[in-house]
């Protein structure tokens, strides 16, 4: 049964990819007659199976019709692969999976997209961004020679009710961050080891007046970016501050950068959203 399925599957994939038997044969190093024989019930040599699978961008299991089993176990397969990788390889591999998601959503255009991306890298383009925005959700990604990121947000059932704060809370946050020297302080605090700091320490390193630093720290306490604490010493109580760990700061800064200045290179990009970005 597997033999018949293999030939039928090769023919199905070839026709879907819109290539001739001759083109497939050249790609994997056999004659047109050999491909024809496969599709009529013959069997490729075992060593050709990886080349055939790569040409069609499928797994070898898929050539034998085991697609449903692959779909059921793909999450488990990814998990096991990541477990086996060294720590310094895990995140790059995860990002490769993210790009596979983008290409899968875009469908048949993915082959040309991969080629275009490779050409962009050959042309020494430093970075480009991908955007997929539909009524089903959002995907934002950046591909760079220095670093990458990927953001996926599926549409919720009742519109974009993402439990956002009231506009007054946003105003409080942005008004605070928008004050003179405030971002200088926030960036500095996030660029150092979070082991506590005093007003005098910040005055020395940021070259700012003590009163200004105290006022800014008070406002950052109000929006829960830093916390005030007292440490008992032999000389009495020492007032210090500690940055509240919040991993959202870096994504916030990265996406704020895209608002400050729209990215220049957008590819691949697909916009097919008929709903507003935010719904009441």
Residues 219-258: pLDDT tens digits?
Answer: 999 999 999 998 877 777 888 999 998 889 999 999 999 9
User: Could you tell me if 209 and 200 are in contact, meaning their C-beta atoms sit under 8 angstroms apart?
Assistant: no
Residues 23-48: pLDDT tens digits?
Answer: 999 999 999 999 999 888 888 888 88
| Per-residue model confidence (pLDDT) at position 110 | 66
Domains annotated on the chain, with CATH: 2-68 (1.10.260.40), 86-164+247-280 (no CATH), 167-243 (1.10.10.10)
User: Could you tell me if 174 and 167 are in contact, meaning their C-beta atoms sit under 8 angstroms apart?
Assistant: no
Tokens describing residue 37: 């024989």
Residues 194-220: pLDDT tens digits?
Answer: 788 999 999 999 999 999 999 999 999
Alpha helices for the chain (secondary structure H): 2-17, 21-28, 32-39, 49-56, 60-63, 67-84, 87-106, 110-122, 167-177, 182-190, 199-206, 210-222, 249-260
Tokens describing residue 8: 């039928």
Measured from the Cβ of residue 106, the count of other Cβ atoms closer than 10 Å reads 17
- Which residues, including other chains, have CB under 8 Å from residue 76's CB and lie 6 or more apart? none
Share of the chain above pLDDT 70, in %: 91
| Per-residue model confidence (pLDDT) at position 72 | 56
| Per-residue model confidence (pLDDT) at position 158 | 67
Choice among 160-164, 215-219, 275-279 with the minimum mean pLDDT:
160-164
Residues 184-193: pLDDT tens digits?
Answer: 999 999 998 8
| Per-residue model confidence (pLDDT) at position 111 | 67
Choice among 19-33, 59-73, 150-164 with the minimum mean pLDDT:
59-73
Binned at pLDDT 50, 70 and 90, residue 127 comes out as: confident
User: Could you tell me if 151 and 98 are in contact, meaning their C-beta atoms sit under 8 angstroms apart?
Assistant: no
| Per-residue model confidence (pLDDT) at position 198 | 92
Burial of 220 per CB tally in 10 Å (0-12, 13-18, 19+): buried
| Per-residue model confidence (pLDDT) at position 1 | 41
Average pLDDT over residues 94-115: 81
Average pLDDT over all residues of the chain: 86
| Per-residue model confidence (pLDDT) at position 162 | 78
Q: Which among 50, 75, 72 is positioned nearest to 63, based on CA atoms? A: 50
Binned at pLDDT 50, 70 and 90, residue 63 comes out as: confident
User: Could you tell me if 69 and 59 are in contact, meaning their C-beta atoms sit under 8 angstroms apart?
Assistant: no
Choice among 70-84, 95-109, 253-267 with the minimum mean pLDDT:
70-84
């Amino acid at each position: 049964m597997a033999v018949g399925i293999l030939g039928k599957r090769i023919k199905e994939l070839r026709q879907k990819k819109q290539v001739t038997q001759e083109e497939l044969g050249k790609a994997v190093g056999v004659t047109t007659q050999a491909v024809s024989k496969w599709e009529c019930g013959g069997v490729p040599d075992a060593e050709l199976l990886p080349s055939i699978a790569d040409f069609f961008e499928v797994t070898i299991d898929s050539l034998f019709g085991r697609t449903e089993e692959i779909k059921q176990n793909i999450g488990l397969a990814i998990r096991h692969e990541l477990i086996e990788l060294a720590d310094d390889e895990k995140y790059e591999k995860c990002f490769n999976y993210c790009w596979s998601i983008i290409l899968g959503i875009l469908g048949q255009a993915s082959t040309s997209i991969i080629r275009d991306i490779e050409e962009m890298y050959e042309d020494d383009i430093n970075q480009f961004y991908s955007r997929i925005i539909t009524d089903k959700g959002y995907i934002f990604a950046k591909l760079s020679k220095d670093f990458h990121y990927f953001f996926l947000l599926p549409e919720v059932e009742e519109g974009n009710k993402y439990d956002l704060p009231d506009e007054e809370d946003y105003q409080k946050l942005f008004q605070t961050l928008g004050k003179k020297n405030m971002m200088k302080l926030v960036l500095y605090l996030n660029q150092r080891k979070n082991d506590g700091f005093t007003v005098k320490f910040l005055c020395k390193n940021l070259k700012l007046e003590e009163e200004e630093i105290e006022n800014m720290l008070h406002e950052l306490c109000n929006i829960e970016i830093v916390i005030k604490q007292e440490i008992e010493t032999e000389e009495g109580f020492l007032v210090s501050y500690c940055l509240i760990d919040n991993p959202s700061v870096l994504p916030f800064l990265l996406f704020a950068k895209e608002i400050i200045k729209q990215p220049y290179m957008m590819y691949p990009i697909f916009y097919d959203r008929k709903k507003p970005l935010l719904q009441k």
